[in-house]
Homo-oligomer: A and B are copies of this chain.
């Protein structure tokens, strides 16, 4: 038997992240733009103190290890404090997406059996409306604003504690976070995060090929804290000792003001955020400030968005992941031949989804679960496993991953020989024509590059010979009278001939999920018995 070694009893716990930030980078700022327009400056030292106050206040409420504490909130100081305060009390922070529909909110809060609900004043109407249906919630605490609604205010609640609180004993395998997927089918499913997995994820975030964060970084996560761990940034910023800038509003002008005034170097958000920000800049002027690194996730960034940022000397990277992957699965990074690539080649690279950091593995499989080659051509169902990948949904009876740890992401992707991953579609949205796969997303993106097209959705409809054939639903831009022939002509230069839709139908609008994604399921249902006009013409 070997005696000796390193300090193996040191635990990977999220409270150690805020301990580190307060001890080594205590004066680094935490800036909040509150919903009422007030700006508040704090720092890691104060976050640490307030988190200990909150942990003590939770213990005083009778919260026990493993109990769920829910938030219904935007990004701000008190939400950040809650990530660490709940962890230090041994509780599990359940970040609820306030944009969900009422029945989803009721379902997940009851399923999680949340005992405390912390909420922003702007979401008080939701709380008022749903309260009678939330029997497990014993305490409602208001994050911001005044006490006129009769709820206890967060600031008063924690101020009653002196902050000389020692974190409760935590094992690195204990849970600390819970986030539900807003799936398009069935009930939402809860993903439970552990201390260990969140800390490992934070380490992985810092590296140059992922978020590239240092203590001198000034980070504005536009991604909400209720969305998949805010991509891990509240943990990563603490690990790096970075400055955090948070906004409780997503108003584009306000975000630009913060970026410029606070010398924001890193930001992260979904493509629609950047579209709104560009529109504001085009209307009102202004520059990019000190911005040098933008991460885009949620869905693919249009090529024009990538080019615009790159032409302004901003590094752009796609992040791919999901609630089930903590969420970073891949990140775009400059490969070793980057400097020898042309601008177009660089944009081609950035348009893909990037590579896994150490800790994550990918593979693609066909419909018979045969593992496919990483040849840069063959697309298949994307599967993932690793240090921070889901094993089993919260309170589920069976694992979500298979016996070897592989979790089926529902995405369809190509793996390239250099490790780069390229999403081509959602598995459910692939159009299967003559045994081959047509990517609905590529078809839609190509169509949206056609002048006059505001939005497009490609759907597979039944065909006796080809099994399925694509049709394209198009919303015209206001004032446009673009024709089906013009769109087909545009597509002909962009996709293979056999991918061209059999019909183009003009519609007034398309259905979307609460988070703004196309609601493909509804479209598939609506068109599942659709009969192509060409079939009647032929018969």
Question: Which B residue sits closest to A324, measured CB to CB?
Answer: B6
Which A residues from 1 to 47 make CB contacts under 8 A with B? 1-10, 12, 16-17, 20, 23-25, 27-28
In the complex, A214→B354 CA distance in Å?
13
Q: Is A401 an interface residue (CB 8 A)?
A: yes
User: Looking at chain A's contact residues, is the secondary structure mostly helix, strand, loop, or mixed?
Assistant: loop
Contact among B5, B218, B240, B243 for A392, CB-based, below 8 A:
B5
Contact among B197, B394, B419 for A24, CB-based, below 8 A:
B419
Contact among B8, B24, B25 for A173, CB-based, below 8 A:
B8
How many A residues touch B, CB cutoff 8 Å? Answer: 77
> Given A23-B361, A206-B207 in contact, is the A192-B4 Cβ separation under 8 Å?
yes
* CB-based contact B197/A6 at 8 Å: yes
**Copies of this chain, how many?**
2
In the complex, A5→B214 CA distance in Å?
29
Question: Which B residue sits closest to A202, measured CB to CB?
Answer: B358
Question: Which B residue sits closest to A263, measured CB to CB?
Answer: B336
In the complex, A3→B191 CA distance in Å?
10
Q: Is A385 an interface residue (CB 8 A)?
A: yes
Contact among B6, B214, B389 for A390, CB-based, below 8 A:
B6
Residues of chain B contacted by A385 (CB below 8 angstroms): 7, 10
Residues of chain B contacted by A214 (CB below 8 angstroms): 207-209, 333-334
In the complex, A261→B10 CA distance in Å?
43
Residues of chain B contacted by A4 (CB below 8 angstroms): 190-192, 390-396
In the complex, A326→B9 CA distance in Å?
16
In the complex, A192→B401 CA distance in Å?
35
A217 to chain B, nearest CB (A): 8
Q: Is A259 an interface residue (CB 8 A)?
A: no
Question: Which B residue sits closest to A218, measured CB to CB?
Answer: B336
* CB-based contact A207/B213 at 8 Å: yes
Q: Is A270 an interface residue (CB 8 A)?
A: no
Q: Is A226 an interface residue (CB 8 A)?
A: no
In the complex, A206→B334 CA distance in Å?
15
Residues of chain B contacted by A25 (CB below 8 angstroms): 419
> Given A203-B200, A335-B215 in contact, is the A2-B192 Cβ separation under 8 Å?
yes
* CB-based contact A208/B206 at 8 Å: yes
> Given A4-B394, A193-B5, A207-B214 in contact, is the A386-B10 Cβ separation under 8 Å?
yes
Contact among B175, B238, B336 for A5, CB-based, below 8 A:
B175
Q: Is A405 an interface residue (CB 8 A)?
A: yes
Q: Is A220 an interface residue (CB 8 A)?
A: no
Ranked 10 nearest A-B pairs via Cβ: A24-B419, A206-B207, A203-B203, A208-B214, A216-B336, A6-B197, A5-B192, A4-B394, A239-B358, A4-B392
Besides A27-B418, A215-B355, 11 other A-B contacts (C-beta < 8 A): A1-B66, A6-B387, A8-B197, A9-B405, A12-B200, A24-B419, A27-B417, A203-B358, A214-B333, A215-B335, A216-B337
Q: List 10 interface pairs A-B (beta carbons < 8 Å), by A numbering.
A: A2-B192, A2-B394, A2-B395, A4-B192, A4-B395, A5-B391, A6-B388, A16-B358, A203-B358, A241-B419
